[in-house]
């Protein structure tokens, strides 16, 4: 009886792993950060436009590894084992981005929840970027308009366009 139970448990574990792998292969992703509502999102092949919610692989730099160590995001499949970030594509090449005490302005419009913080939720120092420039070719600015405490371009500046994995759409979320 115990042997049959063990075989059933092993079979069910393999089934769950296979279903999760299949879900990943067809574009489903789980967001476990506070940047956007926790839940399941689908990576699409939609054309990428300003204002879209995107999945972004950050550059493999010391700044992003420090953010990972602070727990802003987990390990993942991006370069350097960094996790992709769910962010709004706020500015594209040719857009004017300016930081101020009020927040981030893009083409003269103050962005929602863009006021930079000087400390994270653990009381550690955050260093906002100072920017007043037009983005050049192959650079973008990514923000979270959902969570004012999100780790985004307010703290790491413009990032390479080629880190975009694609547009994501919420399928099922459980925290608004």
- Dump pLDDT digits (tens) for 41-97: 999 999 999 999 999 999 999 999 999 999 999 999 999 999 999 999 999 999 999
3-state secondary structure 116-172: CCCECCCCCECCCCCCEEECCCCEEEEECCCCCCCCCHHHHCCEEHHHEEEEEEEEE
Q: Has residue 2 got a pLDDT over 80? A: no
Is the Cβ–Cβ distance between 30 and 20 less than 8 Å? no
Q: How confident is the model at residue 10 (pLDDT cuts 50, 70, 90)?
A: confident
Residue range 93-115: average pLDDT? 98
Q: How confident is the model at residue 24 (pLDDT cuts 50, 70, 90)?
A: low
DSSP 83: P
More confident residue, 12 or 152: 152
Q: What pLDDT does residue 15 have?
A: 66
Write out pLDDT tens, residues 81-93: 999 999 999 999 9
Q: What pLDDT does residue 8 have?
A: 78
Q: What pLDDT does residue 3 have?
A: 76
Q: What pLDDT does residue 32 have?
A: 87
**Architecture of the domain delimited by 29-173:** Ribbon (2.10)
Q: What percent of the chain has pLDDT over 70?
A: 91
**pTM of the full predicted structure?**
0.88
Q: Has residue 9 got a pLDDT over 80? A: no
Residue range 96-125: average pLDDT? 97
DSSP 11: H
| Domain spans, the chain | 29-173
- Give the span between the Cα atoms of 105 and 68, in whole angstroms: 27
More confident residue, 9 or 97: 97
């Amino acid at each position: 009886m115990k042997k049959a139970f063990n075989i059933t448990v092993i079979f069910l574990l393999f089934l769950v792993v296979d279903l999760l792998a299949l879900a990943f292969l067809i574009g489903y992703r789980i967001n476990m950060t506070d940047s956007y509502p926790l839940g399941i999102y689908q990576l699409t092949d939609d054309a990428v436009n300003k204002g879209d919610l995107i999945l972004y692989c950050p550059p493999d730099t010391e700044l992003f590894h420090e953010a990972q160590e602070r727990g802003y995001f987990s390990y993942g499949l991006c370069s350097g084992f960094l996790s992709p970030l769910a962010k709004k594509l706020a500015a594209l090449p040719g857009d004017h981005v300016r930081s101020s005490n009020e927040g981030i302005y893009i083409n003269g419009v103050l962005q929602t929840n863009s006021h930079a913080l000087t400390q994270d939720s653990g009381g550690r120092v955050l260093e906002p970027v100072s920017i007043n420039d037009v983005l050049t070719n192959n650079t973008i600015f990514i923000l979270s308009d959902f969570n004012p405490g999100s780790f985004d371009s307010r703290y790491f500046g413009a990032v390479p366009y080629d880190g975009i994995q694609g547009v994501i759409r919420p399928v099922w979320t459980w925290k608004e």
